[in-house]
Amino acid sequence: MKIDEIGEFGLIESIKKDCITSLEGVVKGIGDDCAVFHSSSGRVLLLTTDMLVEDIHFLPNTITPYQLGRKAIAVNLSDIAAMGGTPLVILISLAVPAQTEVEEIQEFYRGMREICGLYSVNIVGGDTVASPDNLIINVSLIGDANEQEVLYRSGARPGDRIYLTGTVGDSSAGLSILRHEISPQESLCGHFIKAHNEPEPLIKTGKVIAESRLASAMIDLSDGLLSDLGHICEESRVGALLFRDTIPLSEELKSLAADAGFDPFDFALSGGEDYVLLVTVPAAKTQDFELAYKDRASSPLFLIGDIREEKGIRIMNENGSAQDLVPKGFDHFSGGS
């Protein structure tokens, strides 16, 4: 069987068995945003890693080295945010083509250092090797968290409400603009390209949610709303109902869709790299959750649906009709969707 026959997530399922050789200290292995281990201090360690490959994860002619360095760190920080943790140290490994300009790598590291400084994260090591063709970046990040506050994908239960901590679809629209698939008004171009090239990890928001101890599950939107909600549904063995009219879209995306003649929900549901947080909260705790969130978090909060016992994801349209949705998003081995 070829990898493209089972896709990225099928491949992960096929290789994760027996990866844990000793259970001592292991709380969670493959299957969440971070692996989780007990640390000697009584807290748990969060470990995550992410690889970016030129021409697959980024197009070198559409992002500056500075932005690329910043984004490489941001996507890992977002994984820590999704578990409610605090980032601590980073290891960076690069495979660099020999003809690469030194100044480009210096700018790349400037972007990494700047975002690490914003979140008090130390770059403590890594490796650099030659690459025959494309630039390959691998970032490994270690964080920690109070074990009682870590949020997993497997905690959602029927009746839970589903929230988003920001609008969705702008990053995917930015990628389409960079690929010249959409030609927006000049005044809108910068907004979407920045959304795609300079994501902001919601570390503080993730900690506020975790410290409230009111949420049941959480994930960051890296692969797309449907795909990442699908991960929660699969790990929690539940389904979901979304309300189309409450899924948050930016005014810029609405304007772009009106001008270019496309459905903005195509980007909102299946576009990736928004890096907002998707959270589930038991219905009985929603009022307390919303109050705690409003009091401490600076990100917006949108109620977008419910967790259901019936498997699968459905969406309720404005006219009251409901339809089944197929979770999809970025998949490395299935042509990107």
Kindly report, residue by residue over 126-174, the tens digit of the pLDDT: 888 888 989 999 999 999 999 999 999 999 999 999 999 999 999 999 9
Predicted local distance difference test score (pLDDT) of residue 336: 47
Instruction: Count CB atoms within 10 A of the CB of residue 151.
Output: 25
Predicted local distance difference test score (pLDDT) of residue 278: 98
Instruction: Count CB atoms within 10 A of the CB of residue 309.
Output: 10
> DSSP string spanning 224-248?
-HHHHHHHHHHHHT-EEEEEGGGS-
* Tokens coding 94: 């690069």
Average pLDDT, the chain: 89
Predicted local distance difference test score (pLDDT) of residue 3: 44
Task: Tell me which residues of the chain have a pLDDT lower than 50.
Answer: 3, 15, 21, 333, 335-337
Hunting for tokens 């360095």 — which residue is that?
Answer: 69
The yes or no reply on domain 151-325 and CATH 3.90.650.10 is yes
Please give the sequence-ordered ranges of beta strands (E in DSSP) within 166-321, or none if there are none.
Answer: 217-220, 239-243, 277-281, 302-308, 312-316
Predicted local distance difference test score (pLDDT) of residue 318: 85
Question: pTM here?
Answer: 0.86
Q: How many angstroms separate the CA atoms of 271 and 328, rounded?
A: 9
Cα dihedral 17, 20, 25, 29, rounded to 10, equals: -40
Contact 278, 240 (CB under 8 A): no
Predicted local distance difference test score (pLDDT) of residue 218: 98
Nearest to 269 by CA among 238, 252, 244: 244
Q: Where are the domains of the chain?
A: 3-148, 151-325
- For 3-148, CATH number? 3.30.1330.10
Q: How many angstroms separate the CA atoms of 140 and 120, rounded?
A: 16
